[in-house]
Amino acid sequence: MKLKISLSNNKDGLVKDNIRQDPIIDGLLERIPKESCKPFTDEQLLSLKIALSGKRWGRHVFDIRGVVGFWTWRYYYVIIGGRERRRLTRKEEQISLIGKALFLLFFVTFCALLGFLILYLIKSALGFDIFPGSHLDIIPGPEESTWEWFKKNI
Mean pLDDT (the chain, rounded): 78
Q: Residue ranges per domain, the chain?
A: 7-53, 90-153
| CA–CA gap between residue 5 and residue 48 (Å, rounded) | 14
Q: Is the pTM of this model over 0.75?
A: no
Nearest to 28 by CA among 47, 48, 43, 14: 48
How many Å apart are CA 144 and CA 126, to the nearest integer? 17
Dihedral sign for Cα atoms in the order 30, 36, 39, 41: negative
SS (H, E, C) 91-110: HHHHHHHHHHHHHHHHHHHH
End-to-end alpha carbon distance in the chain: 70
Q: List, for residues 39-75, the tens digit of each pLDDT value.
A: 888 888 888 888 777 656 657 788 888 999 888 899 9
